[in-house]
Chain A
Amino acid sequence: METTIKATNLTKSFGDFTAVDKLNFEVEKGEIFGFLGANGAGKTTAMKMLIGISKPSAGDAVVAGYQVSNQAELVKKNIGYMSQKFALYDDLNIKENIQFFGGIYGLDSKSIEVKYNRVVENLGLQDYAKQLVRSLPLGWKQKLAFSVALLHQPKIVFLDEPTGGVDPVTRRQFWELIYEAANQGTTIFVTTHYMDEAEYCDRISIMVEGEIKALDTPKVLKKEFGVSSLNDVFLKLAR
């Protein structure tokens, strides 16, 4: 198996406070890696280092073949990112957003057109193509944002709580999109607070106060902690 993310003693501190403390883990190509933890455990900070917008205080990580500490721009070229906040332009329509984000990743207008048609078809958004993104329901927006993050065929996609506030049906559909991308070889790095979603992951890690306290497949973790659900694993660790 090919390793796409490898963190070595990855650390971030703000003054005296260590938000992320010596993370060590590896993620394989095509894996769906769940990154769990309570609010404030340091998930977002860790993710920001992995996507190259926050410099590690110590340690390093190799993402898609490049070091985040000094090759951040190369890392960015090879990853996709979807933040907690919906971050497409809501005063542009679907096509304009795809043209913009496709364009800044260097796609030519022909392949943008092809991708646009595929996205609209995949998500069933034909009737809304001309509408401003603002007017779409949240769940659709999130699915669209995920598709936009995949436009340039990144090796890894980072998803920061992608399904927050989304209804169960749409969440299910969202996870179908994730599986589809993973099957095509894209590595998925996802944070979530939904334990049912964590069950969908190939492996999960649970962060507590800046450190990874558990890392394995959901099945093994449940066994290890002698509980029947991931929720109980999480509660045991986080308390």
Chain B
Amino acid sequence: MKIVFIIIRKEFKQIFRNKAMIPIIFVLPLLQLVILSNAATYEVKDIQVAYIDHDNSISSRLLIEHIKGSSYFLAPIHFETSRQAEEVILKDKVDMVLEIPGDFEKNIINSQHPQIALRINAIDGATAGVQNVYIQQIVMHFNKNIQLKNKTLNTFNQSFSKTESIASFWYNRNLNYKTLMVPGILVLIITMLTIFLSSMNIVREKEIGTLEQINVTPIKKWQFIVGKLFPFWVIGLLLLSVGLLISKLIFNIPMLGSIFLIYGYTSLYLLVILGMGLFISNFTDTQQQAMFIAWFFVVIFILMSGLFTPVESMPTWAKIFTEFNPVAYFVEMMRMVMLKGSNFQDASRLIIKTFIYAVIMNSLAVWSYRKKI
């Protein structure tokens, strides 16, 4: 035990002696948290519409007014010809082109199914879908209003009784995307920092030759590994603390569940990641190699964790993969505990999975670490 303590003391000295490392460890990740949480959004706003009005009637102008009145849209820009409008869509100046045909009002009055043409820039399909939903809502709204106005002319349509569904959103009442993103991004930051630090730290000793010196001493494998990884475990938990504080103070993210559960789970999760870092460092000879391999895993784990894209909409093989993705466990855990107030029992499935993962990962890491060459 004393030897473990001696190694830990040396590691902390080296980490905190490196003046450039302290901001890298604590300031950069938290900046990421603040920046990414504000930027990574599913909200579609400030939609720019270009329109060509061949009708130039009261009805067509009313439709444009409706768009103008929506908080999701910027004031639409008027063009004379559809060619002009298409030019600006090519230049990415507008998101969609709305063309109102010459017989628009006439068709409304005659109940002839008036039609408008809509061209949406769908390079980003998800965004285009949302934009389409918004504009459809506006058109529906416009329809209602126009029907009310033409009530005398058109009583028949009004007799339709429409079924409406009223949704109530649980756990994230205001559909605030930050509530969803902040716990997830915190996971991302903790994972990246600890896997990079741990994988590169041991390889660094290989590079400078001190590992050989250590291997000639009677230090035991487990003493060295525990001594090496413990400081990063502490740093991971420290980062969690600061991250939770920021998510409360800046983003006002609720903490419905037990904070002890979060800490307990993170302690376990960090063992998985640190074991992985050690495993990587055992199979690499330079910090550069270690970094690229850690990066390879981190990118896959994060992009497939359900942090940015919902797991539910992934193809089946990817869903199966997330069963083996520790970052996905952590993201789910954080969201469950912080936002839904899930308790130990609710999360037991994740905890058991993480525990098994930690055991396997660390056994592999210890097994592959060799004091011999």
Q: Is the CB of B371 within 8 A of A53?
A: yes
Q: Does B62 contact A (CB under 8 A)?
A: no
Chain A contacts with B in 8-66, Cβ cutoff 8 A: 48, 51-55
Q: Does B337 contact A (CB under 8 A)?
A: no
Q: Is the CB of A87 within 8 A of B3?
A: no
A71-95 Cβ-contact flags toward B at 8 Å (1 or 0):
0111011010101011111111000
Q: Could you say which residues of chain B place their CB within 8 Å of the CB of A79?
A: 216
- Among B10-18, B133-141, B145-153, the one that faces the other chain is B10-18
Q: Does B210 contact A (CB under 8 A)?
A: yes
* Sample of 20 further A-B pairs with CB below 8 A, known A72-B372, A104-B219, A106-B218: A52-B216, A52-B372, A76-B217, A76-B218, A77-B218, A81-B216, A83-B209, A83-B212, A85-B208, A85-B209, A88-B210, A91-B14, A96-B10, A96-B13, A100-B6, A101-B217, A103-B3, A103-B6, A104-B7, A104-B217
**Least CB distance, B32 to chain A, in whole angstroms:** 27
User: Chain B at the A interface: mostly helix, strand, loop or mixed?
Assistant: helix
Q: Does B213 contact A (CB under 8 A)?
A: yes
**Least CB distance, A16 to chain B, in whole angstroms:** 19
The complex places the Cα of A85 from the Cα of B206 at a distance, in Å, of: 11
Q: What 3 pairs across the A-B complex have the smallest Cβ distances?
A: A85-B209, A103-B6, A87-B213
Q: Is the CB of B3 within 8 A of A92?
A: no
Q: Does A225 contact B (CB under 8 A)?
A: no
Q: Is the CB of B372 within 8 A of A100?
A: no
Chain B contacts with A in 10-52, Cβ cutoff 8 A: 10, 13-14, 17-18
* A76/B210 contact (C-beta < 8 A), A54-B372, A104-B7 known: no
Interface centre among B17, B210, B218 (most CB of A within 10 A): B218
Q: Does B59 contact A (CB under 8 A)?
A: no
The complex places the Cα of A100 from the Cα of B9 at a distance, in Å, of: 9
B348-373 Cβ-contact flags toward A at 8 Å (1 or 0):
00000000000000000000000111
Q: Is the CB of A87 within 8 A of B10?
A: no
Q: Is the CB of B3 within 8 A of A104?
A: yes
Q: Is the CB of B212 within 8 A of A91?
A: no
Q: Could you say which residues of chain A place their CB within 8 Å of the CB of B213?
A: 81, 83, 87-88
Q: Could you say which residues of chain A place their CB within 8 Å of the CB of B6?
A: 99-100, 103-104
Q: Does A105 contact B (CB under 8 A)?
A: yes
**Least CB distance, A162 to chain B, in whole angstroms:** 13
Q: Could you say which residues of chain A place their CB within 8 Å of the CB of B220?
A: 73
A104-117 Cβ-contact flags toward B at 8 Å (1 or 0):
11100000000000
Q: Is the CB of B216 within 8 A of A53?
A: yes
**Least CB distance, B213 to chain A, in whole angstroms:** 4
**Least CB distance, B217 to chain A, in whole angstroms:** 5
Q: Interface residue tally of chain A, by bracket?
A: 20 to 34
CB nearest to A45 among chain B residues: B373
CB nearest to B215 among chain A residues: A53
**Which of B3, B219, B372 contacts A53 (CB under 8 A)?**
B372
Q: Does B162 contact A (CB under 8 A)?
A: no
The complex places the Cα of A90 from the Cα of B13 at a distance, in Å, of: 12
Chain B contacts with A in 159-184, Cβ cutoff 8 A: none
Q: Is the CB of B10 within 8 A of A105?
A: no
The complex places the Cα of A55 from the Cα of B6 at a distance, in Å, of: 28
The complex places the Cα of A17 from the Cα of B195 at a distance, in Å, of: 38
Q: Is the CB of B210 within 8 A of A55?
A: no
The complex places the Cα of A52 from the Cα of B215 at a distance, in Å, of: 9
Q: Could you say which residues of chain B place their CB within 8 Å of the CB of A73?
A: 218, 220
CB nearest to A99 among chain B residues: B6
**Least CB distance, A104 to chain B, in whole angstroms:** 5
Q: Does B91 contact A (CB under 8 A)?
A: no
Q: Is the CB of A54 within 8 A of B373?
A: yes
Q: Does B2 contact A (CB under 8 A)?
A: yes
**Which of A87, A90, A100, A105 contacts B212 (CB under 8 A)?**
A87
Q: Could you say which residues of chain A place their CB within 8 Å of the CB of B13?
A: 92, 96
Q: Could you say which residues of chain A place their CB within 8 Å of the CB of B371?
A: 53
- Between A and B, 30 residue pairs with Cβ closer than 8 Å are A52-B372, A53-B215, A53-B372, A54-B372, A54-B373, A55-B372, A72-B372, A73-B218, A73-B220, A74-B218, A76-B218, A77-B218, A81-B216, A83-B212, A83-B213, A86-B209, A87-B213, A88-B213, A89-B10, A89-B210, A91-B17, A92-B10, A92-B13, A99-B6, A101-B217, A103-B2, A104-B3, A104-B6, A104-B7, A104-B219
